[in-house]
Amino acid sequence: MSATALILGATGQTGQQLLQSLLSSSFYSRVGEYGRRTTALEKIPADLQDKLEQHTIDFEKLDTSGLNAKPWDVVFITLGTTRKNAGSAEKFVKIDREYVINAAKEAKVSDNQRLVYLSSAGANSSAPFLYPQSKGLTEEGLARLGYKDTIVFRPGFLAGTDRGETRVAESIFGLPFSLQQLAGNQHRHVGQGPRGGGQAGERQPPPAAGATKVTLKDGTSYTVIGNAGAIELAKLDL
């Protein structure tokens, strides 16, 4: 069995790892990269370039994006930003939540598609702080789009992100790790884990993935996987 994959947000640190993992996987026969920018072809191994199709899109004009031109089997979203990089709370919400949900909605053309979203540790729609609240609201908005499976990865705060913002996050959430501990292979595991999640789906994750189900008040549910689970899913056969 093979599947097709669409990825939004492939130029970020984790998105780069996920894109390479998808292209290297025999499970995925075709990979579509959509975004405001796309990956330079020289970063893609020559023998994998034919497997990739790239499209530059405007998230303000998704009706012309072509996201709904074909039913991608698995839609991966690693798109996101920080308030600092966005420039304001309003712009942060637009990029981190509205663009993500609207793009996922545009890409849904079949009830058999699977959605995999890279969120963050501490995501909670009721949180008093903007970042975790936005991530939680985004998760819930994606779950309500009606994909066959919605799988959310909640990695810890990533090495290589803004150090000041990460320290604030650590102090808020009491995360039991340091930036040094998260360096090295972290982005690789977090990037490859979603590839395995898209392959396994909600119903067949290995027990070691530690997947948990979140059920909202309206009965909508989705699956959440943390750092340890991402590492386990990264081990699934390519």
Question: Is 108 noted as a catalytic residue in this protein?
Answer: no
Category of 136 on φ-ψ map: left (φ > 0), alpha (ψ -120 to 50) or beta:
alpha
CATH of domain 3-233: 3.40.50.720
Q: Which of 28, 99, 117, 131 is catalytic?
A: 131
**If we measure between CA atoms, which residue out of 94, 102, 142 comes closest to residue 118?**
142
**Phi, psi (deg, nearest 5) at residue 57:** -130, 160
Q: Give the pTM.
A: 0.88
If pLDDT is split at 50, 70 and 90, which confidence band does 78 have?
very high
Question: Is 222 noted as a catalytic residue in this protein?
Answer: no
**Phi, psi (deg, nearest 5) at residue 128:** -80, -10
Domain ranges of the chain: 3-233
> Residue 171 pLDDT > 90, yes or no?
no
Q: What is the pLDDT of residue 208?
A: 74
* pLDDT tens digits, 5-40: 999 999 988 899 999 999 999 999 999 999 999 999
Q: Which of 99, 117, 135, 222 is catalytic?
A: 135
DSSP 83-131: HHHHSSHHHHHIIIIIHHHHHHHHH---TT-EEEEE--TT--TT-SSHH
DSSP 119-183: --TT--TT-SSHHHHHHHHHHHHHHTT--SEEEEE-PPPPTTS-HHHHHHHHHHHT-S--HHHH-
